[in-house]
A and B are shown apart, each in its own frame.
Chain A
């Protein structure tokens, strides 16, 4: 690990003020950042410790929505009775991720910003455009079993590994931030992440030193919710494919559908085409097949990860079947 200057911030304002230079980093739970620092994938010259900021509460809003502080641990968020009651997909997604120990430390903000698990990103001896822009991508043509089939570019085919972020997309969350100049922003989760294109090292629309302060969940959606995760072992493993789903059936027709996917793309993936294929239709096998066709129309495998395309189809159909059966 490269050494660094360490500063603890006690207020969000102090945190953004203390953050200077391109290579400073905020540290919250540290479960992703320190992992990467040990391998010198991340080499910040300054760490701004935000773990003690007063942003660890979950507050009720008038419309029945919730405002979640960026430092609420993943474990507390998953176990909050209001989250269980109104946003089951979020509890389920969090509980499907990592381990009890990690969820106790991992923060809501840090979870959104965790980096890919691409093997070559982690291995500083490999070429990786995300780690070292312009160096190439050893995953294309390499071991890419865990990588993306949607939204890739010729420069990067990494997946975003978060389970929580998939649920946040299905729930239309909003990210609240504080910038270094003191401005505050509200960013829809749908606009928060960026596809790799030719700049895979830029993953979100956040500016340098922009602090996530909260995540807002809108009024709870009606209908049923589910999170289905397929992985190599039954626990403590990242998703190969996951589906976060909200579906509302009225008079035997699908009235509303919000589907987001993990393990398939460089960002938690939401597809309007899937939802258009479902809304207004009866929940039948044909409808589900059409939704899967819509999801995967542009899917492209890279050899090792070809299996994700049929796996995603089956996972989506199984999720739809479970949610629409009585």
Chain B
């Protein structure tokens, strides 16, 4: 079978039953995505398929040979962190870190859904959802965190979303926050 993952071509000879998650973790040495439940209940395995966030444990690798797959390894690396990765570090948005790759891939997909104007369960007006913390929590509910770092996860995502929206850099935002603390 042939795959395109993080912009690279891979070939693997795997059992037909292999999930996309197991393909990456067990056969391609891409161990960033985690297996929490293997049943679509935790979000630790979240990847982006053609830009959309999905649970990679609940889909077969064989079904995705024509797709562009992005795992956390393709989101950023220590030399070039994605803004969300920066924000997670800055906001201490994890403890053990097991859910983090899934949280970040999910947040990337989620921010794109917001950009497209998609509503959520908590949107009062489905045609023009307002983007607040409650919306982030609802939209990220498919990612569980056993360490309960939720409030910091929301803060980290909020910062990236705001800075994208206001075209304000994260550093300035930090400074504003620091000034507020000093005042």
- Footprint of B on A, CB under 8 Å? 1, 3-4, 6, 8, 27, 29-31, 34-35, 38, 49, 51, 75, 78-79, 81, 84-85, 88, 91-92, 95-96, 98-102, 104-105, 234-236
Cβ of B17: which chain A residues have Cβ within 8 Å of it? 1, 3-4
Known: A27-B60, A75-B118. 13 other contacts (CB 8 A): A3-B16, A3-B17, A4-B17, A8-B63, A27-B63, A31-B40, A31-B59, A34-B58, A78-B118, A92-B126, A99-B143, A100-B110, A105-B54
Cβ of B40: which chain A residues have Cβ within 8 Å of it? 31, 35, 101-102
Cβ of A8: which chain B residues have Cβ within 8 Å of it? 63
Query: Within the complex, what minimum Cβ distance (angstroms) separates A250 from chain B?
Result: 25
B109 within 8 A of A: yes
Known: A34-B58, A34-B60, A38-B39. A104 touches B109 (CB 8 A): yes
Q: Is the CB of A101 within 8 A of B62?
A: no
Query: A71 CA to B143 CA in the complex, in Å?
Result: 25
Q: Which of A92, A96, A100 contacts B113 (CB 8 A)?
A: A100
Query: A101 CA to B127 CA in the complex, in Å?
Result: 21
Q: Is the CB of B16 within 8 A of A6?
A: yes
Query: Within the complex, what minimum Cβ distance (angstroms) separates B21 from chain A?
Result: 11
Could you say which of A29, A34, A88, A101 has the most chain B C-beta atoms within 10 Å of its C-beta?
A: A101
Query: A30 CA to B19 CA in the complex, in Å?
Result: 11
Binds A, one of B68-76, B134-142, B158-166: B134-142
Cβ of B43: which chain A residues have Cβ within 8 Å of it? 99, 101
Cβ of A85: which chain B residues have Cβ within 8 Å of it? 127
Cβ of B123: which chain A residues have Cβ within 8 Å of it? 95
Q: Is the CB of A104 within 8 A of B54?
A: yes
Q: Is the CB of B141 within 8 A of A51?
A: no
Cβ of B16: which chain A residues have Cβ within 8 Å of it? 3-4, 6
Q: Which residue of B lies closest to A6 (CB)?
A: B16
B87-121 interface (Cβ within 8 A of A): 106, 109-110, 113, 116-121
Q: Is the CB of A101 within 8 A of B59?
A: no
Q: Is the CB of B60 within 8 A of A88?
A: no
Q: Is the CB of A35 within 8 A of B39?
A: yes
B130-183 interface (Cβ within 8 A of A): 137-143
B15 within 8 A of A: yes
Q: Is the CB of B15 within 8 A of A88?
A: no
Q: Is the CB of B118 within 8 A of A51?
A: no
B25 within 8 A of A: no
For B42-63 the 0/1 string (1 means CB < 8 A from A) is: 0100100000111100111011
Known: A49-B63, A85-B127. A105 touches B55 (CB 8 A): yes
Q: Is the CB of B59 within 8 A of A105?
A: yes
Q: Is the CB of B63 within 8 A of A30?
A: yes
Q: Which of A35, A49, A81, A104 contacts B52 (CB 8 A)?
A: A104
Q: Which residue of B lies closest to A96 (CB)?
A: B121
Q: Which of A3, A79, A95, A99 contacts B142 (CB 8 A)?
A: A99
Query: Within the complex, what minimum Cβ distance (angstroms) separates A241 from chain B?
Result: 16
Q: Is the CB of A105 within 8 A of B58?
A: yes
Cβ of A96: which chain B residues have Cβ within 8 Å of it? 121
Cβ of A84: which chain B residues have Cβ within 8 Å of it? 119, 126-127
Query: A101 CA to B20 CA in the complex, in Å?
Result: 14
Cβ of B59: which chain A residues have Cβ within 8 Å of it? 29-31, 34, 105
Q: Which of B53, B60, B138 contacts A101 (CB 8 A)?
A: B53
Query: A23 CA to B16 CA in the complex, in Å?
Result: 17
Q: Which of A38, A79, A99, A102 contacts B118 (CB 8 A)?
A: A79
Cβ of A27: which chain B residues have Cβ within 8 Å of it? 60, 63
Query: A92 CA to B113 CA in the complex, in Å?
Result: 16
Q: Is the CB of B121 within 8 A of A95?
A: yes
Query: A75 CA to B51 CA in the complex, in Å?
Result: 14
A-B contact pairs, 21 of them (CB 8 A): A1-B17, A3-B16, A4-B17, A6-B16, A8-B63, A27-B60, A34-B19, A35-B40, A35-B58, A78-B118, A84-B126, A88-B126, A99-B43, A99-B143, A100-B53, A100-B139, A100-B140, A100-B142, A101-B40, A102-B55, A104-B53
